A and B are shown apart, each in its own frame.
Chain A
Amino acid sequence: MKASSFVGLLLTACVTAHAPAPSTAKAVAPPTAPVAAEPICPAAMPTVAEGAVPTGARIEKVCLLGASEDDYLRLHEAVAPREGTSLDPLVLRDDLEVLYAQGSVSDVVVATQALPSGGVMLLYGVAPFDVVGSLTVTGAPALGDDTIAPKSLRADPRVLKALVRQVTDALLERGYAQATVRSTLTPVSPGKVAVVLEANQGQRQVVSSITFDGRKVLLERELTAALHSRIGEPWRQDLVERDELALTEVAFDHGLINARVRAVAPEPAVDGKVTLRFTLEEGSVFTIGKLTVTGVPAADQKPLLDSLETRPKQTFVRSQITRDLKRLEHSGRQHGVTLEVTPLTTVDAAKKKVDITFELKPTSAGAIHV
C-alpha cells in the first residue's frame, strides 16, 4: 500500500470515528469480536512512561501525532513503512532522525502502545517549530532598524542562527568589525513567537592608512595596487585575508619565492580610523635555472621551449609560469591531444635558482608532436 493512500484511509478512519454517523449506519451490525477491530490512533500524544521496549513486537499501526496539516503527509510518508514490521529500536532511531531532518519539527518522541492482539501501535509524536510572527532587528542603525512579518518562517535554531550570521556579515561588510548579534524569542500566542535580532554594531572601522613593514625589493605602489582594501573604505577581515594572498602573489612574481606576508590585526580605534599594516619577509630573489619539457620527443622539445615566456636566467615569475602551463595545454589541443601539464620545480637555495620541468602527459589518445 502506498503511503499516501494509507494516509488517506487513516484520516478517513479517524474522521469516521469522530463524525456523526451517517443515516445508513443503522444497518451496520456491531462486530462480535472486538479483537478484530482496527486500532485507532489517539487524537494526541499520550503521556509516555519508561518501560520495557517491546523489541520484535509486530507493529500493527503507525500513528503520527502533533504534525501540522501542511507537514502531515510528508512526515507520515517517512514512517508509514514501519506498519507490519517487527519493532527494531535502531530502525526507529533512524526514523526519529529522519523526521527531525525534515526541518519542520522541533521535537520527536517515539512510543508504543500494546494492543490486545499482542502487537503494538507505534506512536510518533512531533512538535512543530513555532512560527515567527515578527522579526525585528535592533541596535544596528547602519542597517536600518526594522521589523518585518515574515511568511512561513519557523523558529528553527538553524534558521535563527543563519539570520544572526546574515546580520553580522552585513555589519562586518560595512566595517563594523566588532559587531555582535544575538537572537531572542518571545512567545506572542500559542505556536507563534516574536524574534528580535539584537545587534551591537560598535564603532565603524575605516582604513585611514596602509603600511608595509619589511619591504625591500617590492615597490609600495605595486603592493598597494594589488590590495582589495582601500583607504577610506571599511576595514574588513575577509578583504584583509585576500590582501595577504594578493601581496604574496606580487612577491612570487618578483622571484621572492620564500616571501611571507602577514596582516597585523589592528586594535579597534575609538575614532574608527585604523592603519592597515602588513609585515613582509621577502627573502632572496630567485632566478630560473634549467628549463625543460618532458613527455615529448626530443626533436619537439626545443620548439616548445621557444614558445614559452619563461627563460633560463630570468627572474622567477610565477604568473608567467602559469601562463606557460596554459600555453602548453593549448599547444596540445591544437594538435588534437589533451595534455596534463605538471610544472615540477627544484630549488637550489644556495645558488638561488629554480629549475623547472614541464611534465606533459596526454590524457586523450594520440602522441604529442609539435
Chain B
Amino acid sequence: MRALLPLFLVLAAPAALAQAVLVDRLAAVVDAHPITRSAADARATLLGAPPSGEARDKARAEALTSLIDDWLIHLDAERRGLTVTPEEVEHALAEVAEQNHLTVSALLTEVTRHGFTSDGYRVELKRQLLEFKWLNTTADRASRPSDPEALMTFMASERVRLLAALRQQVAIEVKR
C-alpha cells in the first residue's frame, strides 16, 4: 500500500495541477439548435473585434445575438420555402467582384485577408441572400415607401419587428 500511494499521486498530479483552457462551450440554444461560443467568436473576428478585452466580450455578445437572429431567419425562411441556390451565390459573388473592380479569383484572395475562407465567404453570401429574400417576402408590402433611403430605414425597422415576433415563437436560452 505504501508503494502504491506515491504512484497514485504521481499519476494524478498532471491532471490536478494543469490549468484547464477553454476551447469551446455552449453559448445559446434556440429551441433545439445550439450556438457555440466559438461560432460567436468567429463572427466577432469577422466583424473586426479586437482579440481580447472588454471590447471583445461586447463584440462576442453582439455576434451571438446576430447568430440567433440568423437562425430565426433561417427557420422562418425554411418554413416559407425560401432557398438560395449555388447559382445565385455565384452570381452574387460575381456582382460583388464587379462592384469592386476585381475578378472573382482576386476577390476571394482579398476576402482571406479579412478572415474568410473562400467557402466561408460563399456561406456568408448565401446567408445574406437568404435574409434579403426573407425580408423582401415578409416585410409589410402595403407600407413600403418608394424613396430608396426611406425604404432602407423602413426595411431595417421591419427586420427588427419581424425578428421580435419570431423570438416570441421559440425558446431562446443565452448561457453566458
B36 touches A93 (CB 8 A): yes
A96 touches B19 (CB 8 A): no
47-66 of chain A: CB within 8 A of chain B: 47-54
Q: What per-residue 1/0 map shows which CB atoms of A149-188 lie under 8 Å from chain B?
A: 0000000011011000000000000000000000000000
Taking the complex as formed, is A303 at the interface, i.e. its CB lies under 8 A from any CB of chain B?
Answer: no
Q: Which single residue of chain A is at the shortest CB-CB distance from B1?
A: A21
Give A contacts to B, CB under 8 Å: 17, 20-21, 25-26, 28-31, 34, 37-42, 45-54, 87, 89-90, 92-93, 96-97, 100-101, 107-116, 121-123, 157-158, 160-161
In the bound assembly, the distance between CA atoms of A111 and B19 in angstroms comes to 10
In the bound assembly, the distance between CA atoms of A50 and B38 in angstroms comes to 12
Q: Is the contact region of chain A dominated by helix, strand, or loop, or is it mixed?
A: mixed
Residues in chain A near residue B149, CB distance under 8 A: none
B25 touches A109 (CB 8 A): yes
Smallest CB–CB gap between A268 and chain B, Å? 20
Residues in chain B near residue A17, CB distance under 8 A: 8, 11-12
Interface centre among B19, B20, B23, B32 (most CB of A within 10 A): B23
Give B contacts to A, CB under 8 Å: 1, 3-4, 6-8, 10-16, 18-26, 29, 31-32, 34, 36, 38-39, 52, 171, 173, 175
Residues in chain A near residue B173, CB distance under 8 A: 157
Smallest CB–CB gap between B66 and chain A, Å? 17
B20 touches A25 (CB 8 A): no
Residues in chain A near residue B21, CB distance under 8 A: 48-54, 111-114
Interface centre among B13, B24, B39, B52 (most CB of A within 10 A): B24
Residues in chain A near residue B171, CB distance under 8 A: 157-158, 160-161
- List 10 A-B pairs, Cβ < 8 Å: A30-B6, A40-B12, A40-B15, A50-B21, A96-B24, A107-B25, A111-B20, A111-B21, A123-B20, A160-B171
Smallest CB–CB gap between A47 and chain B, Å? 7
A110 touches B11 (CB 8 A): no
In the bound assembly, the distance between CA atoms of A110 and B20 in angstroms comes to 10
Smallest CB–CB gap between B55 and chain A, Å? 15
A89 touches B4 (CB 8 A): no
Q: Which single residue of chain B is at the shortest CB-CB distance from A25?
A: B4
In the bound assembly, the distance between CA atoms of A2 and B19 in angstroms comes to 30
Smallest CB–CB gap between A40 and chain B, Å? 5
Residues in chain B near residue A113, CB distance under 8 A: 14-15, 18-21
User: A25-B4, A29-B3, A115-B14 given as contacts; is B25 within 8 A of A49 (CB)?
Assistant: no
B31 touches A157 (CB 8 A): yes
Smallest CB–CB gap between B173 and chain A, Å? 6
